[in-house]
Chain A
Amino acid sequence: MNIDNFRRAILAVGLVLPMSWTAGSVAAQTARSFGVSVSTPTVNQTATSAILPAGGDMVTNSGQSIAVGGLATAQDAFAIVSGDADYGSSAVSSATLGAVNLLNGLITADGVVAMASSSIGDAVNSNTEGSSLANLVVGGVEVSDAAPNTRMDLPGVGYVVLNEVQTTGDGVTTSGVTVNMIHVVLQQPILGVLGQVTGYQTVGNIIVGSATSSVTR
């Protein structure tokens, strides 16, 4: 190899390697949580939320009494998010509430804990350990220890998903999870020309106790 070829090789390495190092050395995290969120054609409101900003270590928010759009009330809501601004190797978020009442008593609970945790160790991982629902009653039926993504119909209203868990990431370089402890999907029937029900359309969402965390190696 003459000196010209050698110089070209060094130039190529110098251009390509720094780009790959930059991409590979960036670690990132997200953490957010909220107490109650209502989204309908007339109401779009989130109460007691906390979002970890870039470079932040911890954010908290609380509210003793929450009332959103005449659809949801709750007491003693706390949202806490924390993470590692320097290394981006961990994120934890939580939302806790007491005395939850949705849709004029259609759904009640006296203790909600949503907790999401993501970290980088030998592997990247996320979980919702620590999440729970206390004294949950849905349409007059007591529900204890709801399994992840438990769905119950709410006639005339839509349906509710309890302990709704959604994961993200490839488990190798990225990992994330969101848990919504109570997620009501408001629906309206779609009527055919003869007035018959041909389907349902979603017209709103009510989420109580939501926590999200994620990390990227």
Chain B
Amino acid sequence: MIRLRSLALLAAPIGVALVAWSCDRQPNALAPSIGAPLAHFQPGNFVCTPVKMTGGGRIDYPPEQTEQNPPASHEYETFGAHVMGSGQQDANGVCLADKGALEWVDHRPEMEVNGHPLNLHATEVTFAEVATDASCSDGAVHWGGKLRVQNTGESDLDFEVWDCDNGEPGRNDGFAISVPAIGYAVQCFTVTPADPTCYLTGGNRQFHPTH
């Protein structure tokens, strides 16, 4: 009897370890493809599920292209951005973000403010919803909140971004931003007429399906 009890005591941690391993991240697991490139990022094509998107990069806009502009043109934007949501909705049906951040720098000479690059800094990330009809192979998120224009101090401005992870490495990933209050938008419609994301010319977006 003592031997059997010892056996059980030894087997228990192994069982716990096996269960823990089964819940661990599987590095080779791929997020399910979520549809053909039809009309992604259109209203109504979103679900409120746990989500996380991280990374940063560079966009050479305009024009809407996958290649870098000549460096001397300074026609590019660089950014870092992440968002996380647990799939909770508020009373108005808004899919809430738990946390997030955005730092956006527009290096285009025509966008300079007082001789410096336009710099947008998110002060609050309020919503994050997963696009269900995107061509992004690993996942797509529409999210946003409030930001401040660092150059002028204008703050509490609504912004939204469209965020696409289209596999590794990040050269096929996409990102777009709009700040209506100041008439600012970096949006391309290269993939489909309904998709505002611009291809990254550097960096990476990483979609994380949570479990």
| A associates with B | yes
B119 in contact with A62 (CB, 8 Å): yes
A58 in contact with B82 (CB, 8 Å): yes
B153 at the binding interface (Cβ < 8 Å) = no
A120 in contact with B27 (CB, 8 Å): yes
A58 in contact with B103 (CB, 8 Å): yes
Q: When the two chains form the complex, which single residue of B71, B74, B119, B208 contacts A87, counting CB atoms closer than 8 Å? A: B208
A76 in contact with B116 (CB, 8 Å): yes
Interchain nearest-CB distance for B37 vs A (Å):
20
A180 at the binding interface (Cβ < 8 Å) = no
B157 at the binding interface (Cβ < 8 Å) = no
B74 in contact with A134 (CB, 8 Å): yes
Chain A 1-53 residues near chain B, CB threshold 8 A:
3-4, 6-7, 10-11, 13-14, 17-18, 21, 25, 27
The CA-CA distance from A76 to B6 in the complex, in Å, is 67
The CA-CA distance from A82 to B204 in the complex, in Å, is 10
A92 at the binding interface (Cβ < 8 Å) = yes
A94 in contact with B56 (CB, 8 Å): yes
Task: State the majority secondary structure of interface residues on B.
Answer: mixed
A202 at the binding interface (Cβ < 8 Å) = no
A82 in contact with B52 (CB, 8 Å): no
Q: When the two chains form the complex, which single residue of A58, A62, A84, A134 contacts B72, counting CB atoms closer than 8 Å? A: A134
Interchain nearest-CB distance for A60 vs B (Å):
4
A86 at the binding interface (Cβ < 8 Å) = yes
Q: When the two chains form the complex, which single residue of A14, A125, A134 contacts B169, counting CB atoms closer than 8 Å? A: A125
Chain B, residue nearest A4 (CB): B3
30 contacts between A and B (CB under 8 A): A3-B3, A6-B7, A13-B14, A18-B14, A21-B17, A21-B20, A27-B25, A27-B27, A60-B121, A76-B116, A89-B206, A92-B170, A94-B57, A94-B80, A94-B202, A98-B117, A111-B107, A113-B76, A115-B202, A117-B55, A117-B202, A117-B203, A119-B168, A119-B169, A119-B170, A120-B168, A121-B168, A125-B169, A130-B202, A133-B71
Shortest 6 CB-CB contacts between residues of A and residues of B: A130-B202, A121-B168, A134-B71, A90-B206, A80-B80, A130-B58
Binding site for B on A (CB under 8 A): 3-4, 6-7, 10-11, 13-14, 17-18, 21, 25, 27, 57-58, 60, 62, 64, 75-76, 78, 80-84, 86-87, 89-90, 92-94, 96, 98, 110-111, 113, 115, 117, 119-123, 125, 127-135, 217
